[in-house]
Chain A
Amino acid sequence: MLGLGADRLRADMNRLLAFLFHQGVLDEQFLQLQQLQDESSPNFVSEVVNIYFHESEKLLRNLRGLVLEREFSDYKRMGIHLNQLIGSSSSIGAKRLTNICVAFRAASDQNNPTACLRALELLEHDYCYLKNKLHEFFQIEQQRVMAAGVRYPIQN
């Protein structure tokens, strides 16, 4: 009974991942991340992702502040923040966020405040979306882990 539930949950997880892949939200780097998770670090992925969200929220806050300053848009600092965000996003395989960040960076390179604002809004929207989806994913995983007892890791 329990085994079956675990399998179903695992299928759900895979479906969700496939959906995110299909939408272009995630890329294979996320899989690589999952592969790094093993007995020695059972919660590696969720740890990394949590750090990512923590850092990203800070960066997004800063970015919003910078963009809303309007007159004195500090493009250099904006660029640094964006680079950080790009780096971390690509590390966890958040493909769509990476792409938006690249567009954002291009807009800031061109000193285009309206484009920056638009990119920022899109970025926040997608960030929330990703966050929700990954939360969902980890919830399912949590359930699965509970259902499967102590069967680590996901991938053998």
Chain B
Amino acid sequence: MVKSWTPRLVFLGDGAKILLNLWKKITGNSCKIQHHYYQYIGTKRVRKSWWWKLLVIWVVLWTLVSLWVFWYMSSQAMEKRKETLARMCDKRARMLQDQFNVSMNHVQAMSILISTFHHGKSPSSIDQRTFAKYTERTAFERPLTSGVAYAVRVLHSEREQFEKQQGWTIKRMPEQTPVHKDEYNAEALEPSPITEEYSPVIFAQDTISHVVSLDMLSGKEDRDNVLRARASGKGVLTAPFRLLKSNRLGVILTFAVYKTDLPSNATPNERIQATDGYLGGVFHIESLVEKLLQQLASKQTILVNVYDTTNSLHPISMYGSNVSDDGLQYVSTLNFGDPFRKHEMRCRFKQKPPWPWLAISTSIGILVIALLVGHIFHATMNRIAKVEDDYHEMEKLKKRAEAADVAKSQFLATVSHEIRTPMNGVLGMLHMLMDTDLDVTQQDYVGTAQASGKALVSLINEVLDQAKIESGKLELEAVQFDLRAILDDVLSLFSGKSQEKGVELAVYIFDKVPETLIGDPGRFRQIIINLVGNSIKFTEKGHIFVTVHPSSGGGDGIHRMEDTGSGIPIEAQYRIFTPFMQVGPSISRIHGGTGIGLSISKSLVCLMNGEIGFASIPKIGSTFTFTAVFTTACSNTSELKNHQINTQSSSVSSEFRGMTALIVDPRTVRAKVSRYHIQRLGIRVEVVPDLNQVFSSIGSGKTVIDTVLIEQEVWDKEFALSTLFVDKLRKLDHGVPPKLFILTSSVSYTRSNSATSGVYTPTIIMKPLRSSMLAASLQRAMGVGNRVNGRNGELPGLSVRYLLLQRKILVVDDNNVNLRVAAGALKKYGADVVCADGGKKAISLLKPPHNFDACFMDIQMPEMDGFEATKIIRDMEHKINDRIQHGELSVEAYENVHDWHVPILAMTADVIQATREECLKCGMDGYVSKPFEAEQLYLEVSRFFHSVADQNP
């Protein structure tokens, strides 16, 4: 794929600017290409054919280009070759022509010699011998002639005299028959027949002496020649023919010899009249040309042919082999001075033209490069197509994987939910089984089975949570909640366990942490429960200490869980937040659990925009720290806050206000925690390290000490002293002696102590300390008297009872059966229940003023459903509140309550449905699933009723 990006560079020079522009253009183009390309992405086939076409066009184009290059280069080479041939041919022709002309000139010179010395002198100064000798010696000047002869013009009338004078008869030229050289016999020749005139040869060079006495006019070529020569006055050439005797191909050059010097414009007739004789030169063309060519280098590279082309249709070869070759040929004309005769030289290369290797290699190179580029393109496109296919494949797989993931989460959620239902059956049956007559072993078995079942249910709940978190379906709600109350609740859940183990469990929340925060209390609880639960599991002795202090940021608090447990082995520390990972296989055997809790906690903390971390040293302990961001409850909710404080803690605070407590504890941190809890009740606190100091502080008399809280540790250690101490306390004359409390975290202590010490049993307060429980204990100790409050550490079922006791609750359901069941369940928890069988009745009952503490309302009712009824009730309340505020209605008429808001809880059978939001939207405060579960009921109810002790009548 073409990457398009514009570099962010600052160029300075002009050239650079141009470059930049160019680059932009290129990227722009590539973008366009990309765009274009994307248009095709939809249909794969189209895209494929598109680049296939391009590829084919590319290959064809470059094949054509390479062919053209080949053609161009080879034609260049051919041209060059032709030029070379022409040059060589012309050179040869020129040379031949020059040499011929030289010879011709010489022959002409000889004709002048003859006319001067033979005809001009009387008697002639030349005879045959002289002529032969002379010609022999001047042969070098006529390199092309093989011989020269002179024939005189003899008229018939002079023949006899001439023959007598010469001593031989004039002979006829032999017929042009192939005569063999050896057979030639001069004596056997016939005498010439009688004609008007004769031209017998009288002088001849030795090389052709056999022509002496032959009549030139009797030979066909010679006759033509002679006649043309005397008429023109110039040298004339015969056509090539076989020469006498030698029988070789030759031409004869003839010049006429005139008696007088003729003017150049003489008519042919005058010339004929003035003719004395004829000088002829014999040219052996073949040998001559051969000789000539031998003088030149590179003879062997070309073939030379010489033709007489006087008759253009039938050129007569004068030299050269008659090879028919249609190859490259060059023709240059030869001018031998005879305008009648035309000659030409045809040249040809001997060898065939060499292969144009350069052209071939160049074009093949080009083709190869083009093919390679094409191949690269092809490979690239293939690769792109493949990558794209892969991409689509991946996309599909990804979708499938995601779908599978969703399906997995759904499956987990469904299965978990489905398993929960039968598990309830199993647990119920086990519960029933426990009530039957069983022996000890059987009891044990059933107990184990029930514990396992419970563990399984909690595991399933955790898995359900995990699945929800993974599928991102878990959403945090943002409601106002009291951090301290939640921590108290959690502590109460674990108090049983911690008491059993004798581990001290304590919570300390810094004062700067706001009273109410906005966030998801349920999930926050879950985190704390997970972490504290883990700590309890692994801590055998010592303490577990939970602190909350605000971070500098504001809304988020830092929560620390510190324990003195076995710690986490270093090698396992990196994976403790991974789901289903445990330190080792033995852990789950010893302590149970699934290892999912921390993972869930981590996810939840992340959802709260916080971080979780830990520090752990094996055999010393671990500290888990997490932050969570909560919004501080703003001013607009302060009214509500006030209301809550009024109804809940203020009653307690007012009760204890002005009291002073003394804590006897040598350990400062523990004392600080105790002080924190007692101070929450509005009691002033002093801390002293041991019993002796108590008296000094009491004795100082500045303040009246109402209560003394002593750590169990101190009490045990100074048991002897303690009896004394108690006596002393009694004797102090302040009217009412201070109440004595012992703070302990061990259940066993409660039992043993209450059994043994008969003298004076101080009230025992079980740790962990919680404000509500503390308040209750104090109230009992002061009001009712000496009663051990052993209830706080028990199961949520009892806690619900604790919360609902004496509450007046309205239950609304159209279904009589459901109504009875719900009412029964709530009654069981100690509530005072009023039933209503429809929304309308509920509305009339809940019209303020009323004295209901809460309302449980069915959602699905035929006439008016729960949502509608709630809306109407809320409207009603809102109107009345408004009117009270505006003073239209007197507060007294409405039981001194300024802000009417009865908690309404929805009852529904569908728990999975996201009804919660809808419930909240309609002004409900929460919901419970219809067959009441103690735990859930407790959770929901506890948000409104913090402690029954607060409003105990």
- Hey, which bits of chain A sit against chain B, CB under 8 A? 7, 10-11, 14, 17-18, 21, 27-29, 31-33, 35-38, 40-41, 44, 47-48, 51-52, 55, 80, 83-84, 86-88, 90-93, 154-156
Contact = CB atoms under 8 A, between A and B. Distances in A.
Interface in B839-865: 858, 860, 862
Interface in B885-915: 909
Given A28-B424, A36-B824, A91 B815 contact: yes
A154 B428 CA distance: 15
B159 interface: no
Contacts of A28: 424-425, 427-429
The 7 A-B residue pairs with the shortest CB-CB distance, nearest first, are A28-B428, A88-B817, A31-B428, A36-B824, A28-B424, A52-B817, A91-B821
A40 B815 contact: no
B465 interface: no
Contact of A48 (B432, B436, B820): B820
A91 B428 CA distance: 15
A21 B822 CA distance: 22
Contact of B815 (A10, A21, A87, A93): A87
A156 B427 CA distance: 17
Nearest to B424: A28
A42 to B, nearest CB: 12
Contacts of B432: 14, 17, 31
Contacts of B421: 27
Q: Which of B427, B429, B820, B858 has the most CB of A within 10 A?
A: B820
Contacts, number: 87
A92 B436 contact: no
Contacts of A40: 827
B424 A27 contact: yes
22 contacts: A17-B432, A21-B429, A27-B421, A27-B424, A27-B425, A28-B424, A28-B425, A28-B427, A28-B428, A31-B429, A32-B428, A35-B828, A36-B827, A36-B828, A37-B824, A84-B815, A88-B817, A91-B815, A91-B822, A93-B931, A154-B435, A156-B435
Nearest to B428: A28
Q: Which of B827, B860, B931 has the most CB of A within 10 A?
A: B931
A87 B908 CA distance: 9
A76 B825 CA distance: 32
Nearest to B426: A28
Nearest to A7: B437
A52 to B, nearest CB: 4
Interface in B410-444: 421, 424-425, 427-429, 431-432, 435-437
B930 interface: yes
Contacts of A93: 931
A21 B425 contact: yes
Given A27-B424, A154-B435, 14 more contacts: A14-B436, A17-B432, A21-B429, A27-B425, A28-B428, A28-B429, A31-B428, A32-B932, A36-B825, A41-B827, A44-B824, A91-B815, A91-B821, A91-B822
B650 interface: no
Interface in B432-485: 432, 435-437
B816 interface: yes
Contact of A31 (B431, B825, B828, B858): B431
Interface of B: 421, 424-425, 427-429, 431-432, 435-437, 813-818, 820-822, 824-825, 827-828, 858, 860, 862, 909, 930-932
A63 to B, nearest CB: 15
Q: Which of B821, B860, B931 has the most CB of A within 10 A?
A: B821
Contacts of B428: 27-28, 31-32
B879 to A, nearest CB: 32
Contacts of B821: 33, 36, 48, 91-92
Contacts of B425: 21, 27-28
A87 B818 contact: yes
B424 A92 contact: no
Nearest to B826: A36
Contacts of B930: 87, 90-91
B836 to A, nearest CB: 16
Q: Which of A18, A47, A55, A84 has the most CB of B within 10 A?
A: A84
Q: Which of B424, B435, B818 has the most CB of A within 10 A?
A: B818
B401 to A, nearest CB: 33
A7 B437 CA distance: 9
A80 B428 CA distance: 31
Contacts of B828: 35-36, 38
Nearest to B437: A7
Contact of A32 (B436, B814, B816, B931): B931
Nearest to A80: B862
A87 B860 contact: yes
Contact of B436 (A10, A21, A31, A91): A10
A155 B435 contact: yes
A41 B820 CA distance: 12
A33 B437 CA distance: 21
A90 B909 CA distance: 8
Nearest to A84: B815
B931 A91 contact: yes
B817 A55 contact: yes
B816 to A, nearest CB: 5
A41 B823 CA distance: 12
B436 A83 contact: no
Contacts of B825: 32, 36
A88 B815 contact: yes
Contacts of A91: 815, 817-818, 821-822, 930-931
Nearest to A49: B817
A83 B817 contact: no
Nearest to A87: B815
Contacts of A88: 815-818
A37 B429 CA distance: 17
Contacts of A27: 421, 424-425, 428
A51 B818 CA distance: 10
Q: Which of A28, A55, A80 has the most CB of B within 10 A?
A: A28
Given A87-B909, A90-B909, A51 B816 contact: yes
Contacts of B436: 10-11, 14
Given A36-B825, A40-B827, A44-B824, A92 B817 contact: yes
A85 B817 CA distance: 10
Contacts of A47: 820
Nearest to B433: A14
Nearest to A10: B436
A32 B427 CA distance: 11
B865 to A, nearest CB: 11
Q: Which of A31, A36, A38 has the most CB of B within 10 A?
A: A36
A73 B813 CA distance: 27
Q: Which of A11, A35, A48, A87 has the most CB of B within 10 A?
A: A87
A88 B837 CA distance: 13
A33 B814 contact: no
A10 B862 CA distance: 40
A155 B428 CA distance: 13
